[in-house]
Structures are given as C-alpha cells and as structure tokens.
Amino acid sequence: MDQAEFTPLLEAARAGAEWAWSRLYADLSGPVLGYLRTRGSAEPEDQLGEVFVQVARNAASFEGDYPAFRSWVFTIAYHRLVDERRYRARRPVTPGEIPDTARGTGDAEAEALAGLATAEVVALLGTLTPEQRDVLLLRIVGDLSLEEVARIMGRRPGAVKALQRRGLEALRRTLAPVSSPGSPSVTRA
C-alpha cells in the first residue's frame, strides 16, 4: 500500500468508516495471524481480534506512514504475545481442561491440512531460540525492517541482525539433506 492510498484510508478509519477498517484488516490480518500462530499463541484468532481492537482504540494517536503503521500493528501483536505467555505461566492448563483451540470449526479436512502445515513450521521454528523465532517471523511474516524489529524487541539493530543470521543458519543446517553412507553425493560444477 502506498502513502497516497494509506493517508485517506487511515483518516476514514479514524472517522469510523467501516469500509476503511475492513480494508486495513484485510491488508494486515493475514500476516499478523500467521505471526501469532507460528509464535504459539493459544488462541491466535482471539489474539488477532484483540490486536485490532487496540489498533482501533489507539488509531487517533498514531502518526506516521504505512510502513510505520504496519510496524506499530506488529508491535501490538508482539506485546500481546508477551502478555499471553506471562498469563499462561501464572495459570497453566489443568489436565481436565480443554482449551478453546482444541475445539474444531466443522471442516475437519481443512483443519487437518492447515494443522499439518502449521505443525511442520512450528516444529521447524522450534529448533530456534525464542529470540531467533521472533526476529525471523517479524522480518519475514511481518515484512519489517531490522530497525523496526529492533524497536519492537527493545534491542539494537546489530543484535537483531546477528539473531537473524544465526537463526537462518540454524534453519539451513536443519533443512540440509542428510546423505546416507553409500548413497551418491551430488556435486555442482
């Protein structure tokens, strides 16, 4: 979205235009939901709703262009996750309790396929440190700059760059094909 489109859209949203909020939600909800899911939110759809409620509540105080707005929305999502982790640490799920995320929506096949893909990504990301996961997801899913991620996480850009490099290298090692003894190796010229 370019600035010429964003400025009137934000003004319309601030004035309460439902179409403007729908457009902002449509533009950002997918990446934010993906970030929340892959970071292990217990109820990512609920968290997404809370993120956008806070965006709507505080939109009047926001100043900046579209990249700054996008970064601001991911900052809210990041802080919501931190709050959720703190809450879950204080109130762990008891064995007889069924979390809301365990209840289905009715389309078992779609849920199973989405669950498999998400489980594979979450498992792969599980090989990283929490800080590496946050950096990579905010950079890739959130499409944020090093500086924006550094501001969100309260770190220096150099530290974020190092976390990103180490995280990508760890993923590269995890994804590297393992050649078994006796199997032909492939060399590129």
| Domain end residue (candidates: 62, 91, 120) | 91
Give the CATH number of the domain where residue 153 resides.
Answer: 1.10.10.10
Q: Is the pLDDT of residue 14 over 60?
A: yes
Same domain, 72 and 2: yes
Q: What is the CATH number of the domain that holds 27?
A: 1.10.1740.10
pTM of the full structure: 0.70
Q: Which domain holds residue 87?
A: 1-91
Place of tokens 């409620």: 53
Number of domains in the chain: 2
- Please indicate, yes or no, whether residues 2 and 61 belong to a single structural domain of this protein: yes
CB atoms within 10 A of CB 162: 14
Q: Tens digit of pLDDT for each residue in 65-115?
A: 999 999 999 999 999 998 888 887 777 655 544 444 444 445 555 555 455
Q: Which of residues 91, 123, 146 is at a domain's end? A: 91
